[in-house]
Structure 1
Amino acid sequence: MSPQPDDGRKLFVLVGTCISFGLQYMLLRSPEFRRAYRLKAYRTHRHQQFMADLAIPDEELVQADVIAFHPPGWADWGNEEAYRSLLRSIPAHVRRISYPYPIFPALWPFHCHDTRNEDAAHEPTPELLPPHYPYGDSWILSKLRKNMSADQILREYLDLDIPSITDVDGLLRKSLEIQQTKEDSTTVKILDFVQENFRTEKTFITMNHVGNFALLHMTNQILNILDIKRLDQTILHTVSELIQFEMPIHPSIIRHFGLRHVGPETRYAIDRFKRQTIQEYVEDYIHFR
C-alpha cells in the first residue's frame, strides 16, 4: 500500500503535455474524485526544459497511488530516454493509467512550422506581444516566397478546393493507422470515438489539441478505472475550450468531411482576445500581425 497524505486522500500524479491541463480540470470537477484524491500535475511543452518541467520528487513517486501519463511514442519529448527513465522509476505499487496524445492532421493538411515566429523584427500585437502563429500554413508560405500579393493570396486561398490537390482522406487513414498501433497498448482510448464523432462534434481544435468533447471522453475513462461516477455531458455547456487556442478549418475541408459543428463564418478563439473567422485569421496570418 502506498503512504497516505496527511488529509487521508490518495495522491494522483498527472504527467503529460499541454492537453493534460484539460484532464486535470475535468477530474477536479468531480466531487467524488476530489474527496478521494489530491492531484499533482507535471506538464511540459518545452523540450529544452524537459527534465525541469517533469522533475517529480522521489518521495512523491513513492506516495503516489495513481500516475497517469503518455506512453513513450505519443509525443516528441526532445529527450526520449529521459522520459523512459522517468517512467521506469515509478514504483511497482503505483497504479498506472496511460493516455494518448492524439493528432488529427486531416482537418489542417497544410500545417507546418513557420520560421517567421523566430523573427523578432515584427511589430508587436495590440497586447504588446510579438505575433505568434504556432500553426503555420505551407500553402500560404509558398505563395509568400513567390512574392504574391497579400490580397491575391487571401483570395486564392479561400477559393481553394484543398481535397482536390491534397489527399485528405489518405492523410486521415494514415494518421489513424499510425496512432492505432500506439493506442493498442494505451489504457485510455480515443481514436474510435474521434472517428465516430469528428463530423458532428468539436473533437479537435487544432491538429494536436483535442477539444472538450474528446477530453470529457478521456476523463470519464479515467474515472471509470477509479470506480468513480462519470461526469455528465452538461459540463460541456459550462466551460470554454480548456486547451487554447483554436485553429480555423478551411471551408473546402468543412464541405468535404461534412462537418456540422463549424461553418465558413464560424468565429474561432485564436488567442486570449481575438475571435476570428477564417478570412480574418488568414489575412492577419499572411501579414503576420
Structure 2
Amino acid sequence: MEYRKPMPPTLHPSCRPLCIIHANCQGDPLAGLLAAHPVFGGAFEVRRYTNYEREPIAEEDMGRCRLFIYQHLGEKWDDHASDRLLARVPGEAVRLCIPNMLFKGYWPFWTNRSTMDFGDSFLDHLVDMGLSEAEALHVCLKGDLAAKYDLAALLEASLDVERGKEGNTVVQTVPLVLEHWRTERMFATINHPGCRLLLHVADGVLAALGMTPVPAEVRAAFTMPYDDFELPIHPQVAAFHGLAFGDAGTRYNIYGRPMTYEDYARRYIACRHGGVGNFIGYLQLV
C-alpha cells in the first residue's frame, strides 16, 4: 500500500482538502482526535459518513477528498461496499483502511441473531427452554458456565475473526487488546472500544501519514466517548479469564443507573418474558 503525505494547509478552512471517514460509531472519536492534531487539523477538513446507516457520500465531497479512511464493507453493502466507494475516490487521494473493532472476550454469548438489543444467546436459551423468570435467573447465576461452554475456545474463535479482519488495516488492535484486556476494561460493549484503543488507532493513522502521535494534551483531555451504557460481564466469565474486574458486585452504568450483572440479567429475562420489543427503552424505565 502506498501512502502519500498530506497536502500543506491553506489559509482558508473551506479550501482545505477533505478527509472522509467512512465508518461506524468508532469514526466519531477518531475524527475528533485527528482534527485536534495540529498538523492534521491544519491540513484537512474532516467529515464522517456513517457506514452502517448507508449514508450516501456526496459527489462534491468525493471530488474534494484527498484522504479516505474507511472500515471495510463487503459486497453485500452494494453501493456502500468499500470496493465501490474506493473506485469513486480521486486517484491522488490516500486510502487507509482502519479496524472495525469488536471483542467478544468479555461477552462470549453475544449474538446479533436475538430479538433483543445486546442479544445474549445464553439468556435467550434459558427463556426459550420455558423456564420461569426466577428459574432462568437462578440457572444463569448459579449454573457452571465453564462446564457447559468452552469459554477458552469461544475467546480464540472471536480473536481469529478479528485477526482476519485486520489483515489489510493500517493499524492492528488485537495485540494491544491481548496485552491489556485482563487488567483494564478495553471495551464498553462488543463494538465500543475504550480510550486506549481509540488513541492507538488514531496514532496508527497519523504514523501512516508521516505525522507525530496524538499530542499529550489531547490525550490527557480525551475521555470515554461511550459512557452512557456499559454491557455487564457475567461474573463467571470474569473469574474464568482472571479479569481484575467484573465480579458479582461490580456495578455498570446502564443509561445513568448503576446495575450489577444480576440486576441486568433479571431485566433481560423479564423483558423477554414480557415480549417487550425495545430492550433499550425497557432498561431506561425499570
TM-score, normalized by the shorter chain, greater than 0.5: yes
Structure 2 unmatched runs, 5+: 1-5, 272-281
Q: Structure 1-normalised TM-score?
A: 0.79
Partner residue in 2 for 1:105: 104
Partner residue in 1 for 2:50: 43
Partner residue in 2 for 1:23: 30
Equivalent AA in structure 2 for residue 226 of structure 1: L
Q: 1:278 aligns with which of 252, 257, 261?
A: 261
C-alpha distance 279-187 of structure 1, shift in aligned 2 (>3 A): same
> Following superposition of structure 1 onto structure 2, how do residues 70-81 of structure 1 map, counting pairs within 5 Å?
70-73=71-74, 78-80=76-78
Partner residue in 1 for 2:69: 68
- Deviation (angstroms), 1:157: 1.0
Partner residue in 2 for 1:138: 121
The whole-number CA distance in structure 2 between the counterparts of 1:233 and 1:172 is 35
Deviations 1:65-118 (A, max 9, x none): 211001235xxx8524641312221121001111011322232122224654xx
Matched, 1:215 2:213: no
- Deviation (angstroms), 1:10: 3.1
Q: What secondary structure does 2:105 align onto? A: helix
The alignment covers a number of residue pairs equal to: 263
C-alpha distance 235-62 of structure 1, shift in aligned 2 (>3 A): same
Partner residue in 1 for 2:231: 247
- Deviation (angstroms), 1:243: 7.2
> Following superposition of structure 1 onto structure 2, how do residues 181-192 of structure 1 map, counting pairs within 5 Å?
181-192=164-175
Equivalent AA in structure 2 for residue 87 of structure 1: L
Q: Structure 2-normalised TM-score?
A: 0.80
> Following superposition of structure 1 onto structure 2, how do residues 114-133 of structure 1 map, counting pairs within 5 Å?
116=115, 133=116
Alpha carbons 1:19, 1:243 under 8 Å: kept: no
Partner residue in 2 for 1:13: 20
- Deviation (angstroms), 1:145: 2.4
The whole-number CA distance in structure 1 between the counterparts of 2:217 and 2:253 is 22
Structure 1 unmatched runs, 5+: 117-132
Q: What secondary structure does 1:228 align onto? A: coil
The whole-number CA distance in structure 1 between the counterparts of 2:44 and 2:120 is 43
Equivalent AA in structure 1 for residue 244 of structure 2: R
Partner residue in 2 for 1:193: 176
The whole-number CA distance in structure 1 between the counterparts of 2:131 and 2:40 is 55
